[in-house]
Amino acid sequence: MRAMARGMGTLVLALLVAADALAADPILSPGFRFSEQTGEALYTNVCQACHMANGEGATGAGRYPSLVKNPKLETGDYATYVVLHGQKAMPAVGRLMTDEQVATVVTYIRTHFGNDYKDPVRAEDVKKAR
């Protein structure tokens, strides 16, 4: 894409493409634990691995559940528990996150993909559930 923008030689387009690439650029954490801080960054670099870009999940021999309008997200406790402790095919990714990160990403999921649960999960809730 960058080569194409250069070829067309318009600065504006190049900037737009660069900005687009930046927003979509994946993050690779410098250590063993996740370094992403925002809900969006945590979702797109961690959860998206299985639950996919729009929370739609996926199906093969088994499946990754869709998060879209998912009634199981009504309470923050359930999602928090699953992120922290894993469940069946789901690894305990929360072990590689701080309480704040878990709270942030669970809150993100509960307010995106057609979910609209307004009560945020807080770091202290996560701490208790560890």
Residues lying near other proteins in the complex (CB under 8 A) are found at 26-29, 31-35, 44-50, 52-53, 58-64, 86-93, 96
Tell me how far, at minimum, the Cβ of 21 lies from other proteins, in Å. 10
| Residue 69 Cβ vs other proteins, minimum distance, rounded to whole Å | 19
Which value, in Å, is the radius of gyration of the alpha carbons in the chain?
17
**Of residues 40 and 120, the one with the C-beta less far from other proteins:** 40
What is the spatial distance between Cα 130 and Cα 125, in angstroms, rounded to a whole number? 9
For the chain, the residue count is 130
**Least Cβ distance, residue 122 to other proteins (angstroms):** 23
Sign of the Cα pseudo-torsion (102, 104, 107, 109, in order): negative
